[in-house]
């Protein structure tokens, strides 16, 4: 099918809204140096609209092609090309599994995840010492972290500490601020927290609402390093990380400034928004047996697979318990304790947390700023997928304005 026929009547690439949104993410990533636009466009042209298996195959094929390019470049001694290709391969493998909950057979998930992560690790290891692995002590175990540095000098630098979202990959964070931070002379610290990526898929460690228990050991580790300026730490929370970072800032005050992209007040609201009114009343009343019976009466195998996949990072697997669990992921009770200057990003057409950026901004007690992104500028939708460079310039300028003058 010709690309010109891929564009739908509503101006997107797919009629399926989720397929279209994920495609926009990948196009935005190319603007930040991940992969290339032509291969992305050619890949989406091979995908049947709304078909999860077709999506998986197309992105897996592209990832394998870039992985082969990266390995060939490594063997030939072309480290720069190898890093670029392997990062793209890792990103594409990660994108391949984003709709795997729509596949009846999900057995390919873990092998694909491991291949994705192996590509990322090869890219890090081929960085000529620019990037180093840094483990974070966490409740008797370690969280895997990566300190990305602009060079291998070991100079103490301002450091952007990135809190990921619920299902984003590490290479995706290069197009969510980390790459631009490196270009400006910052370090960028990326890590898997509980419930995120390897901590979930390899170790079955679940999400937690009290992210200060995660961010504080991260900062403890970073301030003890000679290549990190402990007086010039700034934070960024992407997607659901907009909740986690905001929550942590109520207790952890060593960041000079931070950005929530988008502002998130209540994660549970995104789960209950589509709940039919009768079910919501049963949930609010705590009538579990009636709630469970009503859910069973309208059981759908495809929805059950999706719920099972989406609930994996949480402790609960029963829907009633899960919805009550996610309702604990809110900041209204603690937001008054935040003293860190916070920039709240507020995109038009926010799909997952509509209205919450403005709500968070209104709740914040101290220094704050809100920045809107619009449909007219093409920077709408959750986390501005096709406006990442505009997002990065705004957020990093804001953060620089709050650093000590000698390091900004």
Q: Choose among 318, 136, 106, 122: nearest CA to 201.
A: 106
pLDDT over threshold 90, residue 9? no
Q: How far is CA 313 from CA 170, 317, 385, in A?
A: 17, 10, 24
Classified as helix, coil or strand, 12 is coil
Structure-token pair, residue 268: 């549970």
pLDDT over threshold 60, residue 10? no
- What pLDDT sits at residue 406? 66
Structure confidence by residue, pLDDT tens digits, 134-193 = 999 999 999 999 999 999 999 999 999 999 999 999 999 999 999 999 999 999 999 999
Structure-token pair, residue 256: 């000079």
Distance between CA 352 and CA 337 in Å, rounded?
Answer: 25
What residues form DSSP beta bridges with 187? 159
Classified as helix, coil or strand, 133 is strand
Enumerate residues 6+ apart whose C-beta is below 8 A from 182: 148, 149, 150, 188
- Residue labelled with tokens 């914040």: 364
Distance between CA 102 and CA 309 in Å, rounded?
Answer: 9
Classified as helix, coil or strand, 355 is coil
Structure confidence by residue, pLDDT tens digits, 80-123 = 999 999 999 999 999 999 999 999 899 999 999 999 999 999 99
Burial of 322-347, coded b for 16+ CB within 10 Å and e otherwise, reads bbebbbebbbeebbeebebbbbbbbb
Q: Choose among 116, 347, 144: nearest CA to 242.
A: 347
Distance between CA 83 and CA 98 in Å, rounded?
Answer: 23
Rounded mean pLDDT, 310-332: 94
- For CA atoms 361, 18, 302, 106, give the dihedral sign: negative
**What 8-state DSSP symbol labels residue 18?**
H
Which domains does the chain carry?
Answer: 3-123 (1.20.1440.110), 127-267+329-400 (3.40.50.1820), 275-326 (no CATH)
Structure confidence by residue, pLDDT tens digits, 16-37 = 999 999 999 999 999 999 999 9
Structure confidence by residue, pLDDT tens digits, 362-403 = 999 999 999 999 999 999 999 999 999 999 999 999 999 999
Share of residues in the chain with pLDDT > 70 (%)? 97
Structure confidence by residue, pLDDT tens digits, 352-369 = 999 999 999 999 999 999
- What pLDDT sits at residue 408? 60
């Amino acid at each position: 099918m010709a690309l010109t026929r891929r564009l739908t009547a509503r101006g997107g690439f797919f009629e399926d809204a989720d397929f279209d949104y994920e495609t926009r993410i990948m196009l935005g990533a190319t603007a930040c140096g991940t992969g290339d636009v032509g291969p992305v466009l050619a890949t989406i042209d091979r995908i049947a609209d709304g078909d999860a298996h077709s999506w998986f195959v197309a992105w897996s094929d592209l990832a394998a092609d870039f992985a082969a390019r990266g390995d060939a470049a490594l063997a030939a001694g072309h480290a720069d090309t190898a890093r670029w290709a392997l990062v793209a391969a890792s990103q594409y493998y990660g994108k391949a599994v984003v709709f795997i909950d729509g596949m009846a057979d999900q057995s390919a998930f873990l092998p694909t995840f491991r291949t994705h992560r192996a590509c990322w690790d090869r890219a890090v290891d081929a960085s000529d010492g620019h990037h180093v692995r840094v483990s974070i002590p966490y409740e008797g175990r370690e969280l895997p972290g990566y300190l990305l540095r602009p060079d291998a000098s070991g100079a103490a630098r301002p450091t952007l500490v990135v809190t990921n979202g619920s299902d984003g990959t590490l290479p995706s964070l290069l197009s969510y601020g980390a790459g631009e931070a490196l270009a400006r002379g910052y370090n960028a610290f990326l890590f898997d927290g509980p419930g995120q990526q390897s901590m979930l898929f390899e170790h079955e460690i679940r999400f937690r609402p009290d992210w200060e228990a995660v961010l504080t050991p991260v900062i403890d580790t970073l301030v003890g390093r000679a290549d990190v300026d402990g007086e010039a730490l700034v934070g960024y929370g992407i997607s659901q990380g907009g909740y986690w970072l905001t929550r942590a800032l109520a207790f952890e005050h060593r960041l000079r400034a931070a950005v929530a992209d988008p502002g998130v007040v209540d994660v549970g609201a995104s789960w209950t928004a589509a709940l039919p009114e009768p079910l919501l009343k049963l949930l609010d009343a705590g009538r579990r047996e009636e709630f469970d019976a009503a859910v069973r009466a309208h059981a759908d195998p495809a929805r059950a697979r999706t719920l099972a996949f989406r609930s994996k990072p949480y402790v609960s697997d029963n829907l009633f318990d899960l919805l009550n669990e996610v309702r604990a992921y809110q900041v209204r009770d603690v937001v008054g304790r935040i003293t860190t200057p916070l920039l709240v990003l507020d995109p038009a057409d926010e799909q997952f947390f509509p209205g919450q950026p403005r709500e968070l901004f209104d709740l914040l007690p101290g220094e704050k700023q809100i920045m809107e992104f619009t449909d007219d500028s093409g920077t709408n939708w959750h986390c501005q997928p096709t406006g990442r460079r505009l997002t990065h310039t705004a957020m990093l300028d804001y953060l620089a304005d709050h650093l000590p003058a000698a390091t900004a």
